[in-house]
Amino acid sequence: MKYLIKEQECGYLLKNGILQGLLFAGKHSIHSFLGYELRIVSMMGKVDTKKLPVELLMRQPEFAKRVIRVRIPDHCIGIHMTDGIYRQVLMEGEVLYWNVFEENEIRLVDVTGTEMTEDQVPGMYRHLIPARLYKKVAVGEGETGLLYIDGHFDRELSCGTYFYWNYAHEISCKVFNLKVQQLDISGQEILTADKVGIRLNILCSYRITKPLELVKKLEGASRLLYTRVQLAAREYVGQFRLDELLAQKEEIGRVLGQRLLEVQEEYCVEVLDVGIKDIILPGEIRDIMNTVLVAEKKAQANVIMRREEVASTRSLLNTAKLMEENPVLYRLKELEYLERICDKVGSISVSGGGNLLEQLVGIMAPKMREG
């Protein structure tokens, strides 16, 4: 039987199942009736042994000088590179690659350490590593991370992205936000001193200052602050009547802020501001307050109307006194009213015997004759 072996191929020549050697590119005649067999494989990429033992193939010098053989220990992974380019991560115990038409290289990386360095695996190729072997830790802007190795605190991480081997060690990280945070305490039902049930909406702004101490002493600063504000609000607000409470809305926030300043060191936070967002009254109390407000506004409006009426009357009295003392002014006032009448009315009929009426007739007569 004739066989054609291509340039990138080779053949395993066997006789009666015993490896005789390797054949390379060219035409070959194999007499199968004499017990010969030829198994052709590609000399690119991973070696195909055609079910032959690797040790048997490695005894052939022509085979051994054309392949790269690497044993990967249990505590390592192999970074497979072809012609200097990363291809894949290898986990097998032993790998065999051809080194004829391309240069294959296997870099062993010990995964029993902690931090994954740039020398071990460059950042752009870390996505090739199985996720179960490493842990990615991302710390954002304005955050800090507490790194724990096998349950013990190791160090504090600043903003950035970190990679740690998770093969021989247990890696964990607690990320804390160091920015100003807002705590919204809504719908707090409180009974005032005069037994009126109200609801408060409170806002509290704070930031974490000592995350490591916080982890050691407390389980969540926000929940503790929430409870503390609740208790302080109930204690303080319950001392006042409703009208007193409404008059000192800003004072409530100031007092609550002072109460929280006493515990901020214990809670490992800095309290920046506390304020009352809303005071919500029961429906019937709100209706009464609205009625009182409407009555107050009506009373104020009546006072203003009376004040304006008095001022208007006083102005008319002063004008009358001036016209009584000055006939010319009186005449000018008549002419002013006459001008207003002429602007709005086409013709005027005046009757009566008063002096003003006679003057009006005398003034209008020429205009009537001209018309």
Task: Give the closest residue to 214 by CA, choosing from 150, 151, 264.
Answer: 264
The percent of residues in the chain predicted with pLDDT above 90, rounded, is 34
Q: Compute the mean pLDDT over every residue in the chain, rounded to the nearest whole number.
A: 83
Tally helices (H) and strands (E) across the chain.
Answer: 9, 18
In the predicted model, is pLDDT for residue 371 greater than 50?
no
In the predicted model, is pLDDT for residue 357 greater than 60?
no
- Report the pLDDT value the prediction gives residue 33, as an integer from 0 to 100: 84
Give, to the nearest 10 degrees, the angle between helix 249-261 and helix 221-237.
Answer: 130
Q: Where are the beta strands (DSSP E) in the chain?
A: 2-5, 9-15, 18-23, 26-29, 36-42, 67-71, 76-82, 85-90, 94-98, 104-110, 134-139, 143-149, 152-157, 160-165, 171-177, 181-191, 197-208, 269-280
Mean pLDDT of the 326-336 span: 69
Q: pLDDT tens for residues 123-181?
A: 877 887 888 888 999 999 999 999 999 989 999 999 999 999 988 889 999 999 999 99
- Report the pLDDT value the prediction gives residue 348, as an integer from 0 to 100: 54
Answer with the residue of higher pLDDT: 47 or 265. 47
Most trustworthy range by pLDDT among 234-248, 288-302, 336-350: 234-248
Answer with the residue of higher pLDDT: 314 or 139. 139
Q: pLDDT tens for residues 49-68?
A: 999 999 999 999 999 999 99
- Report the pLDDT value the prediction gives residue 365, as an integer from 0 to 100: 44
Distance CA 175, CA 178 (A): 10
Q: Could you tell me the pLDDT band of residue 368, with boundaries at 50, 70 and 90?
A: very low
- Report the pLDDT value the prediction gives residue 369, as an integer from 0 to 100: 41
Answer with the residue of higher pLDDT: 40 or 312. 40
What CA–CA distances, in Å, run from 54 to 63, 73, 97, 218, 294? 10, 18, 12, 60, 100
- Report the pLDDT value the prediction gives residue 367, as an integer from 0 to 100: 45
Answer with the residue of higher pLDDT: 72 or 122. 72
Mean pLDDT of the 62-89 span: 91
In the predicted model, is pLDDT for residue 203 greater than 80?
yes
